[in-house]
């Protein structure tokens, strides 16, 4: 069997249409959107089209989309911008299981006198909305919660959180990187103020993202300059943005049809996995993304398991791509009350629209052999 890619929460393969649009832009549409001559006008039109495509995917207005270098920058821009726009408010509420790009920024801000409340999750990784309500104060500048966890796939009560924040006059930011294209992210329906998105998680290119900023909300820019209506300085990555737009348009048309198939793959994998001795699905039975399965086999370190999978052509992960290569236990699983050994054993498979039942069955057979060997050297399959 050919190589099997089960790491779609880390990144996705760009659509051929995305690559074609970016190539055409680089060869024929390489003007600067800020220029007033014909080539600049052409570039501006391409930029505006992509902005409209991304806005349509999210249920937003084009003017509410600010292009960035990726979700990490979007998270920084949202958090720092919200703080800077509200003099006297120096309190942020978040969860203990956010992406490292958020948690490390907040740790830095704590060193500058900002007070941060980290909401606890339960043993399944779920967040109780009552904890959100209790944590907000008149000094709270921002509530920042991910829509779906990148490691476990657990869905947070974003609509409820947004309503609570709105009622209390607190800005609400959500990192929706993993949720877009797997659940209904409709900003007409959910009163989110700020939302982070990333193209490369949506079959678009790396190095480009977006920050949704609800109309009439004024943020202090993270990067100063006249571009993006004075909200994000620096010449736009036009080819990347064009690719993002095409990916967004493709996703808007197709994601609902892809969800049931991805859910079927996850359920088939987990049913087979649980037949193995000492195997357990982390975060079940919490509501989770259709494509994400985080599991561990007691006594089998994730690095050993991932090495075997990689040697047999299977791409998987031990958690967040931002921390890949590290040896620290997953902060997500430890926040769920798991011990260090369990957290170090955790492996994430994240399925995509092009994966098949045959691939899932192949990986289950491979896992059976790995577990039977105790993580030792495997004999080649016949």
Report the C-alpha gap between 235 and 237 in whole angstroms: 7
For the CA atoms of 144, 146, 152, 156, what is the dihedral angle to 10 degrees?
Answer: 90
Counting DSSP H helices and E strands in the chain, the numbers are 12, 12
Distances (CA, A) of 44 to 25, 49, 227, 237: 12, 9, 11, 12
Tokens of 305: 């398991």
Catalytic member of 25, 290, 315, 322 = 322
- Residues listed for the chain: 382
Q: List Cβ<8 Å contacts ≥24 apart for 58-64.
A: 58/180, 58/185, 58/186, 58/187, 58/195, 58/197, 58/212, 59/185, 59/186, 59/187, 59/188, 59/189, 60/187, 60/188, 60/212, 61/215, 63/215, 63/229, 64/187, 64/212, 64/213, 64/214, 64/215
Report the C-alpha gap between 88 and 262 in whole angstroms: 46
User: Longest C-alpha distance within the chain, in Å?
Assistant: 68
Strand, helix or coil for residue 7: strand
Query: Is 322 among the residues known to form the active site?
Result: yes
Q: Which spans in the chain are helix H?
A: 16-28, 38-58, 71-84, 100-110, 129-135, 158-167, 227-230, 238-273, 302-311, 331-335, 340-345, 357-372
Q: Which residue has the tokens 């052409």?
A: 42
Which positions are annotated as active-site residues?
322
């Amino acid at each position: 069997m050919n190589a099997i890619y089960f790491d779609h929460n880390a990144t996705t393969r760009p659509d051929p249409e995305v690559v074609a649009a970016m190539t055409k832009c680089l060869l024929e549409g390489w003007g600067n959107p800020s220029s007033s001559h014909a080539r600049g006008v052409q570039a501006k039109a391409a930029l505006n089209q992509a902005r409209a495509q991304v806005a349509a995917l999210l249920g937003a207005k084009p003017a509410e989309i600010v292009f960035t270098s990726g979700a990490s920058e979007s998270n920084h821009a949202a958090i720092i911008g919200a703080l800077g726009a509200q003099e006297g408010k120096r309190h942020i509420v978040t969860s203990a299981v956010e992406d490292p790009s958020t948690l490390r920024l907040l740790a830095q801000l704590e060193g500058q006198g900002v007070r941060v409340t980290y909401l606890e999750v339960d043993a399944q990784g779920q967040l109780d909305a009552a904890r959100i309500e209790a944590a907000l104060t008149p000094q709270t500048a921002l509530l920042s919660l991910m829509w779906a966890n990148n490691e476990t796939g657990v869905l947070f009560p974003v609509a409820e959180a947004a309503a609570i924040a709105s009622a209390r006059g607190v800005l609400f930011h959500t990192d929706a990187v993993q949720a877009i294209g797997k659940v209904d992210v409709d900003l007409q329906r959910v009163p989110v103020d700020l939302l982070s998105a990333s193209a490369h998680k949506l079959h678009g290119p790396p190095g480009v993202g977006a920050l949704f900023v609800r109309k009439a909300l004024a943020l202090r820019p993270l990067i100063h300059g006249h571009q993006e209506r004075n909200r994000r300085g620096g010449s736009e990555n036009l080819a990347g943005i064009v690719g993002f737009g095409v990916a967004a348009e493709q996703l808007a048309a197709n994601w609902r049809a892809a969800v049931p198939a991805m859910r079927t793959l996850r359920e088939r994998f987990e049913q087979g996995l649980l037949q193995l001795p000492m195997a357990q699905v982390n975060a079940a039975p919490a509501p989770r993304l259709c494509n994400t399965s985080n599991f561990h086999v007691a006594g089998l370190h994730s690095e050993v398991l991932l090495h075997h999978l990689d040697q047999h052509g299977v791409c998987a992960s031990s958690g967040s791509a931002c921390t890949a290569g590290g040896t620290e236990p997953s902060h997500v699983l430890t926040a769920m009350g798991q011990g260090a050994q369990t957290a170090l054993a955790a492996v994430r498979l994240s399925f995509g629209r092009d994966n098949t039942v045959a691939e899932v069955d192949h990986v289950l057979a491979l896992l059976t052999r790995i577990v039977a060997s105790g993580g030792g050297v495997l004999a080649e399959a016949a």
